[in-house]
Chain A
Amino acid sequence: MGLKRRITLGFMGIVAILLIAGMVSFIELSMLGRETDKIFDSTRRNSDYASEMLKSLSSQNNAFIKMLAFDDNSYDTICYNSIDRLEEVLTSARRHSLQPEFIDSMVMNARQIRTLCSNFADARDSLNRLAEARRLVQLADSTHTTTPATVSVRDQRSTTIPIYNDYRVVYNNTMEMVSGYLTLSQDALAPDAQQLHHNAYRAVTPVMISLLVMIVVVLMLYYFTMIICVNPIISINKSLINFLNFKIPFAPKCYKRDEAEQLCENISALIKGSKKQ
């Protein structure tokens, strides 16, 4: 390998480092950008979904309380529609979620709410049916006054209050989960972004390391250029001057390889030839 090729290769090496460092930094930063976008998107989506969930839950809760307070089945439809809406939102949220298992537990809660509402409606309907039956019996035999015409408040409470208690726990739990869902995306940062959690400068670490390597390589290039090119030329020139001026034998002391070695040999041959003449 000649001097020209060695130095060309050396410079190519530096260019390669620059290229690689640039490329990897570009890839790393693109990845970081994508991760950040993903987090922003996820956060925005979470907010939208959470808002929808809260609306559905609130509407369902209002309907349920009215069902409870007014003993009227006209609110059932609103209640079930709200639960349907909540389940739809949860299904959409699950598709885009970074932690689908979290949504799964919310879906379970929504199902529990539906079951509890359904249980409450069934209990209420059966109590109403009982009251209706008693009323009919009373109408048929107006002399019988031992059986009350309506269901007692105690009967009603003993049936519905346990359901309401269960409902309250599940409802509160679901509300807490919706609040948790709002911050879920921040907690579930993708690994690449999580690495940047402590030190923002990590994004440029590959470039910094590449720069350090390049400094070392440039220093090496300087050293090797000196040792294989500059020093031999200076030494050969000095030795040649000494020979021409003071007739000191031509013997340059340096690292002589490749063209420098050939140059020395050629000058020596020339000197020998001139001596013979």
Chain B
Amino acid sequence: MRLNVVLRYIGMVMLFMAAAMLATTIVAYVSSRDSSFYALLLSTLLTALLGSFPLIFTHAESYISNKESYVIVLGGWLMACVVTTFPYLMWGGEFSFINAWFESVSGLTTTGASILSDIEFLPRGLLFWRMISTWIGGIGVIMFALVILPSMGRNKMTLSNVELSSVAKDNYHYRSQTVVQIILVVYFGLTSLITLMLKMAGMNWYDALTHAMSVASTSGFSTKNASIAHFDSAAIESILIFGMIAAGTHFGMIYATLTGKRNNIFRSEVMRVYIVMIVVCSAAMAANLYLSGYYPDLITSIRHATFQFTSLFTTTGFATVDSNPWPPLTIVVLIFGSIVCACAGSTTGGIKINRALIAAKMFKQRVQQQQHPNAIFRVKVDGVSQDNETLQTVAIFIVFYLFLILLGTVVSTLFGFDVTTSFTAAVACLGNVGPGFGDVGSMDNYATMPSALKGFLSLLMLLGRLEIFGLIQLFLIKWWR
């Protein structure tokens, strides 16, 4: 492996992060040069220097190997997390080293879990940096860098293959360069559309833009302490529900639908399951809330149930109410949503419906196979037969995912947290959801957790964002040789 080549591409990612920081510095300057201005300015300069250094010494290479691509993607992610902490650390406040790292990882992995007890105290510049980092993380730092930075030639394909979720690639029947462009066009389009809609619904431009960024990236970061409950507006909540559902849909399918292609939303089996799950689970929760007398009228029950379920199912994590005291059935449904999560090829985390659907079909195939031992049954999704390697990968992924949730629960309980808090914190961090239940409920945060646990949960977030296998490669020394 050529370290200099790896460093060159990681340097490009750093330069991209520096550009984002510069944009935020301008925001801080415009906001009466608030207290985050110097922190952002110095962070921009340091990141730019860090990024440009390998570019001074290394030439562009026409070929990068698969192994190098993995290291570039992982190194790019880790370094992006490191440089994201710079403005937080330099600004101070609640940001100790571990808090800054947690907030940075949570932002870039679009988890949306926070350690801040008073978000509104942050200066505008730093709040914007929090939002822009999560927006960049939405479709991945590498993906952004691939489009914005030129002269990468065919290396784009290798890198985008590593960055894209394995189950997400099925819906893309384009050249690698086009895939990256499609993702960005849909992402920018979605962010712009939601910004306009939120503005029309009564938010100011700053809140509309930052919340649109948060929705498009399904992170759930808000500029308000009370999250979406602060606005208490049915119109805003409806727009956000639409935004969250759209952000949880495969971007390739959105593009195909808009351009009149065949593999569109209306033909997709995964999409059908996605919508049916939202409708059925929201209805079940609303009925449970209404019948248990938690809310006096059905409309309020439907409003809160739909918002909360969509929010957790799409791994966004916004909140309109504190769902902690809700009846047990609704909590179970919400946890189920936090584990399964939305479609592959979107900005969401979790197991993803595609894998859950394949797993369900594998189960059905197994039962049929036992009934008819000599028959040949194929697992098909959207009419496409899935090969054995895909099935095996899906099965291993789900098993390992559940194992990590168990591990996360055990580790959290070791620190003295109750089972609900520990389990849901592990689910929320691994699935990049953000809020859980218990001490980490939708109106609480992770501030009270000990530093070591915050570090561990950050690792879970990264594992979830890089779909487990990616990050684990980094720790396999044998693989490096």
Contacts and interface: CB of A to CB of B under 8 A. Distances in A.
Contacts of B7: 220
Size bracket of the A interface: 35 or more
A210 interface: yes
Nearest to B52: A13
A13 B53 contact: yes
Contact of A213 (B3, B4, B49): B49
Size bracket of the B interface: 20 to 34
A213 B46 contact: yes
A9 B38 CA distance: 25
Interface in B47-92: 49-50, 52-54, 56-59, 86, 89-92
Nearest to A201: B92
B41 to A, nearest CB: 7
B406 interface: no
Given A9-B56, A223-B3, A224-B57, A191 B35 contact: yes
Contacts of B91: 195
Given A191-B35, A255-B4, A209 B46 contact: yes
**B3, B92, B93, B123 — which one has the most chain A CB atoms within 10 A of its CB?**
B92
Contact of A202 (B35, B50, B92): B92
B49 A10 contact: no
Nearest to A31: B38
Main SS of chain B's interface residues? Answer: helix
Interface string B448-470: 00000000000000000000000
Contacts of A195: 35, 91-93
A220 B53 contact: yes
A196 B92 contact: yes
A63 interface: no
Interface in B204-238: none
Contacts of A191: 35, 123
Interface in A203-228: 205-206, 209-210, 213, 216-217, 220-221, 223-224, 227-228
Contacts, number: 79
Interface string A162-185: 000000000000000000000000
A123 interface: no
Interface in B14-61: 35, 38-39, 41-43, 45-46, 49-50, 52-54, 56-59
A213 B53 CA distance: 11
A27 B96 contact: no
25 contacts: A6-B57, A10-B56, A17-B46, A17-B49, A21-B46, A24-B38, A31-B38, A191-B123, A194-B93, A195-B91, A196-B92, A199-B92, A199-B96, A206-B90, A209-B46, A210-B42, A217-B50, A220-B57, A223-B3, A223-B4, A224-B4, A224-B56, A224-B57, A224-B58, A255-B4
Interface of A: 1, 6, 9-10, 13, 16-17, 20-21, 24, 27-28, 31, 191-192, 194-196, 198-199, 202, 205-206, 209-210, 213, 216-217, 220-221, 223-224, 227-228, 255, 257
